[in-house]
Amino acid sequence: MIRRFPLALAALIAMAATPALGEQPEDAGGRDATPGAAEQRWGTIAGTVLWAGKGTRNCEVHGFDMEGHPGVKGGLDNVVVIAEPVSIETQRLFREHPRQTDHGDPETVYWLPDPRVATVAPGERLELHNDSGKPAHIRFFLGRVLLKELSLAPKEITTTTLPEGLVRLVDPHTRISGWVFVTPYPSSVSEGNCRFVFSDVPGGRYRLRGWHPTEGRRSRTVNVKVDAKVVVVTPLIYGAETPTR
């Protein structure tokens, strides 16, 4: 789920925007924290999903988010953003202690005829709402493997869990489809002002990955510095180059 920026953090991000278009070079950084240090030392990854392609997209980002990025016209929504730690020790830490949805509420997918993109942790509850007014017969695929099938009556709500990976949801009768990125690492889906914040993450290097169902993938590597007073904005820019699928 997306966390809203505190005002103080937004001001720091406005001061720290970087002047480049497309994918930025890797941030300079040191060695990853040790497992013991990872549990005690924390930092923040923050940024915006930007759009520099033809036309405009759905997110209305603030002007200071676009400063220093020629060609950027706004933001791109429905992008899954994942902070994947490089360190094997930190990866293990997240897998052993997965991050839960705020307040323990399940991630929600509304089965309507518009893009449905969500992200959950492995084993975390995914709540499906059939608000289409028609019966839904949903098949869950991991690659080409059929994981399960669920049938929902109109207005019915059901809960399920999924294994790690990119899961495709398809109704073969209506051809409505959706995607759920199942990952143990910090993640969110861009919407609203297209900002993302991952706070209280162990210090070290992370691959910041973006995935969109039609615009493909973007990624860059960032270094999380613990107890940093200034959070450097980390943009993921779509539309500036051919996507990697």
Q: What is the pLDDT of residues 65-98, one digit of tens each?
A: 888 888 898 999 999 999 999 999 999 999 988 7
Per-residue model confidence (pLDDT) at position 106:
74
What is the mean pLDDT for each group of 10 consecutive residues in the chain (245 residues)? Answer: 38 38 41 42 90 87 88 92 95 83 68 79 90 89 96 93 95 87 95 91 94 94 83 86 49
Query: Residue 2 domain-assigned?
Result: no
Residues 86 and 49 in one domain: yes
Query: Residue 58 domain-assigned?
Result: yes
Query: Residue 1 domain-assigned?
Result: no
Domain coverage including residue 151 = 102-182
Look at strands 117-120 and 126-129 and give their pairing.
unpaired
What is residue 104's DSSP assignment?
Answer: G
Q: In sequence order, what DSSP letters do the residues of 30-67 get, joined into one string?
A: -PPPPHHHHTT-EEEEEEEEEE-SSS--SB---HHHHT
Q: What percent of the chain has pLDDT over 90?
A: 50
Which one of 146, 164, 182 terminates a domain?
A: 182
Give the number of residues written for the chain. 245
Residues 129 and 83 in one domain: no
Residues 147 and 219 in one domain: no
CATH number (domain holding residue 118):
2.60.40.420
Please count the other Cβ atoms lying within 10 Å of the Cβ belonging to residue 14.
Answer: 14
Dist CA 125 CA 241 (whole Å): 36
Please count the other Cβ atoms lying within 10 Å of the Cβ belonging to residue 63.
Answer: 7
SS3 112: coil
Residues 232 and 120 in one domain: no
What is residue 27's DSSP assignment?
Answer: P
Residues 156 and 224 in one domain: no
Dist CA 153 CA 162 (whole Å): 21
Residues 91 and 76 in one domain: yes
Per-residue model confidence (pLDDT) at position 16:
38
Residues 35 and 155 in one domain: no
Dist CA 48 CA 236 (whole Å): 6
Residues 70 and 27 in one domain: yes
Query: Residue 194 domain-assigned?
Result: yes
The count of domains in the chain is 2
Q: Which residues are registered as beta bridge partners of 171?
A: none
Per-residue model confidence (pLDDT) at position 144:
93
Predicted model pTM: 0.79
CA 35-41-45 angle, to 5 degrees, is 105
SS3 137: strand
Query: Residue 39 domain-assigned?
Result: yes
